[in-house]
């Protein structure tokens, strides 16, 4: 992997159970986590989830095609990120602007509303294009903002949001785009909910990442968007970046459909490539936002990875504040990582109380001050995908 120039991040937006915008989420991270609850739409369901309260979502008028919830979440986060970057829709239309969105639920036709239409009688109002626009978040955002640049939806399961940000960096560096709106989005989806229960990966209580009593994840929903800019555009606008995307590495385990490689095989390759891209070493990393789902295997593999490669470096999981937001997780946690770099402290790992004696490294139990200007956020996905993003407060390590 060649060293890559850092890419400026000029705007951030986030919506999840912890808050309706990034400042709200950040405040929650350092105060108290929201409590997960059984899904509102499923009577009798037991396993708790982190749903976004309706009051966090701005009111929208009627839309055609109808805006699915995952797109609504994505649009809310994108509006916040663009405002944060000081970019208006009119300004965007003067530039080559790309959109890269990671998702799991809002991909293709994995859509229960569509299924209901197919199972019923009347599909007359649904052309393929309309269906596509209904469920494809990258297409939706590009059309909404009137953007003519490239747009793509990444469907890498739980690492999709992180991979979207990594690909956005490539689009900026290659000169293909002046600006890229990149992130992830996912909404609560009953098939996924019951799917994780079927896989025995869902906790019946609030999730407990890295805790001895951990027994699975809680699903969540949300979206986060980052605005990445070329140096030329950023300099011409005279804006100060909030952070830089310095490195991105991704690698497959080639091991198992639903379980991570026991020694973190792909994760180690992803780290090697991310550090090489950033021109950094492990010693440069001030803290790590772990994937930390609360499942037995994920947390065991990550703990081993931190113990072997980052001894003494503080790490934590924010899943106890958001639940596992699947395709949005990599993006939401990227936003949290940048916010922590700015605040120079990381939150406690909500749900972590009892250290697991079988794990060699343990997350922060209290908010922890950090020193250094570079941080790492990692995601591990279904199918054995591992992705790592490195963010820095300064353009170089």
Partner 1 sequence: MKACILGAGVVGGFGCGRAALEAAIRNRSAPEAPAVPALTAQTDLLDRFVPPRTLRRVDHYARMALLASRLALEDAGMDDGLPENTGLIVATGMGPTANTLDLQPADVAAADLALSPILFSNSVQNAAAAYISMLLKIRGPCLSINQYEMSVPLAFQTAIDWLEEGRTSTVLVGGVDCFSKALHDASLSRRETKNGSGGRTPAPVGEGSAFFILTRSDAAGAQYPFVHDVHMGAAMRPDAPPVPNTLMLHNSRKTDLLDHASAHVDLTHLYGTFPTSMGMDVAAALALLRTEQLLSMCLPRSDGGSAIPENPRIGCLKQGETGDWGMIVIGRDGR
Q: Which residues are catalytic?
A: 158, 291, 324
Q: Draw the binding track, 196-235, toward partner 1 (x: CB under 8 A; -: no contact).
A: -xxxx-----------------------------------
**Minimum CB distance to partner 1, residue 70 (Å):** 13
Q: Draw the binding track, 148-177, toward partner 1 (x: CB under 8 A; -: no contact).
A: xxxxxxxxxx-----x---x--x--xx---
329 binds partner 1 (CB under 8 A): no
**Minimum CB distance to partner 1, residue 184 (Å):** 13
7 binds partner 1 (CB under 8 A): no
Nearest Cα to Cα of residue 21 among 29, 11, 13? 13
Q: Given the structure tokens 């343990």, which residue do they identify?
A: 362
Residue list 125-144, contact with partner 1 (CB under 8 A): 126-129, 131-133, 136, 138-139, 142
**Minimum CB distance to partner 1, residue 372 (Å):** 26
Kindly state the tokens that stand for 157: 């399961």
Q: Which is nearer to partner 1, 50 or 189 (CB)?
A: 189
Who's near 221: CB < 8 A, 6+ residues apart? 16, 17, 49, 50, 51, 52, 69, 70, 73, 186, 187, 188, 323, 325, 328
- CA–CA distance, 253 with 274 (Å, rounded to integer): 16
Q: Which is nearer to partner 1, 55 or 64 (CB)?
A: 64
Produce one character per residue of 35-53: b if its CB has 16 or more CB atoms within 10 Å, e if not.
ebeebeeeeebebbbbbbe
**Minimum CB distance to partner 1, residue 126 (Å):** 6
Q: Which is nearer to partner 1, 32 or 112 (CB)?
A: 112
Give the chain's length: 397
385 binds partner 1 (CB under 8 A): yes
Binder among 23, 279, 355, 383 for partner 1 (CB under 8 A): 383
- CA–CA distance, 265 with 138 (Å, rounded to integer): 31
Nearest Cα to Cα of residue 221 among 380, 387, 49? 49
Binder among 89, 123, 212, 235 for partner 1 (CB under 8 A): 123
**Minimum CB distance to partner 1, residue 176 (Å):** 8
Q: Which is nearer to partner 1, 285 or 381 (CB)?
A: 381
381 binds partner 1 (CB under 8 A): yes
The angle, 0 to 180 degrees and rounded to 10, between the axes of the packed helices 128-135 and 112-119 is 150
Q: Which is nearer to partner 1, 167 or 338 (CB)?
A: 167
Count of other CB atoms within 10 angstroms of residue 128? 8
Q: Given the structure tokens 């649009």, which residue do they identify?
A: 75
DSSP per-residue codes, 301-361: HHHHHHHHH-TT--EE--HHHH-B-GGGHHHHHHHHHHHHHHHTEE---TT--SB-TT-S-
Only segment of 83-91, 112-120, 224-232, 358-366 that touches partner 1 (CB under 8 A): 112-120
Binder among 41, 60, 212, 283 for partner 1 (CB under 8 A): 41
Nearest Cα to Cα of residue 21 among 67, 60, 66, 53? 53
- CA–CA distance, 14 with 90 (Å, rounded to integer): 22
Residue list 250-279, contact with partner 1 (CB under 8 A): 250-258, 265-266, 269, 273
- CA–CA distance, 323 with 49 (Å, rounded to integer): 7
Nearest Cα to Cα of residue 293 among 247, 270, 259? 259
**Minimum CB distance to partner 1, residue 298 (Å):** 16
Q: Which is nearer to partner 1, 81 or 97 (CB)?
A: 97
Q: Which is nearer to partner 1, 133 or 339 (CB)?
A: 133
104 binds partner 1 (CB under 8 A): yes
- CA–CA distance, 78 with 224 (Å, rounded to integer): 7
Nearest Cα to Cα of residue 351 among 361, 360, 362, 337? 362
The count of chain residues that interact with partner 1, using the rule CB under 8 A, is 76
Binder among 88, 115, 236, 281 for partner 1 (CB under 8 A): 115
Residue list 287-326, contact with partner 1 (CB under 8 A): none
Only segment of 51-59, 76-84, 104-112, 308-316 that touches partner 1 (CB under 8 A): 104-112
238 binds partner 1 (CB under 8 A): no
91 binds partner 1 (CB under 8 A): no
């Amino acid at each position: 992997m060649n060293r890559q120039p850092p890419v400026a991040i000029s705007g951030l937006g986030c919506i999840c159970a912890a808050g309706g915008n990034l400042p709200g989420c950040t405040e929650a991270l350092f105060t108290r986590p929201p409590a997960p609850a059984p899904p509102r739409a499923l009577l009798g369901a037991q396993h708790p989830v982190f749903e976004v309260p309706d009051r966090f979502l701005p009111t929208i008028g009627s839309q055609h095609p109808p805006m699915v919830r995952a797109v609504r979440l994505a649009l809310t986060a994108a509006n916040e990120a663009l405002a944060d970057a000081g970019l208006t829709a009119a300004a965007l239309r003067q530039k080559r602007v790309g959109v890269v969105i990671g998702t799991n639920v809002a991909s293709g036709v994995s859509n229960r509303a569509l299924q209901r239409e197919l199972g019923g009688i009347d599909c007359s109002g649904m052309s393929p294009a309309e269906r596509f626009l209904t469920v494809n978040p990258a297409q939706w955002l590009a059309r909404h903002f009137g953007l003519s640049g490239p747009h793509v939806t990444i469907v890498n399961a739980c690492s999709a949001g992180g991979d979207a940000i990594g690909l956005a960096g490539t689009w900026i560096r290659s000169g293909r785009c002046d600006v890229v709106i990149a992130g992830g989005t996912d909404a609560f989806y009953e098939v996924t909910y019951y799917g994780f229960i079927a896989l025995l990966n869902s906790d019946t209580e609030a999730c407990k990442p890295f805790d001895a009593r951990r027994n699975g994840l809680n699903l969540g929903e949300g979206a986060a968007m980052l605005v990445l800019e070329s140096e030329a555009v950023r300099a011409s606008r005279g804006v100060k970046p909030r952070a830089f995307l310095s490195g991105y590495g991704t690698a497959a385990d080639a091991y198992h459909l639903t379980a991570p490689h026991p020694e973190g095989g792909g994760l180690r390759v992803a780290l090697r490539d991310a550090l090489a891209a950033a021109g950094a070493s492990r010693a440069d990393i001030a803290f790590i936002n772990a994937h930390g789902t609360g499942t037995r295997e994920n947390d065991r593999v990550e703990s081993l990875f931190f113990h072997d490669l980052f001894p003494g470096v503080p790490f934590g999981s924010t899943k106890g504040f958001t639940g596992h937001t699947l395709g949005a997780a990599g993006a939401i946690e990227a936003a949290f990582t940048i916010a922590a770099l700015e605040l120079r402290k990381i939150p406690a790992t909500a749900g972590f109380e009892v250290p697991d004696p079988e794990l060699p490294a343990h997350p922060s139990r209290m908010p922890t001050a950090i020193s250094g200007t570079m941080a790492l956020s990692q995601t591990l996905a279904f199918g054995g995908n591992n992705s790592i993003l490195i963010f820095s407060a300064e353009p170089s390590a």
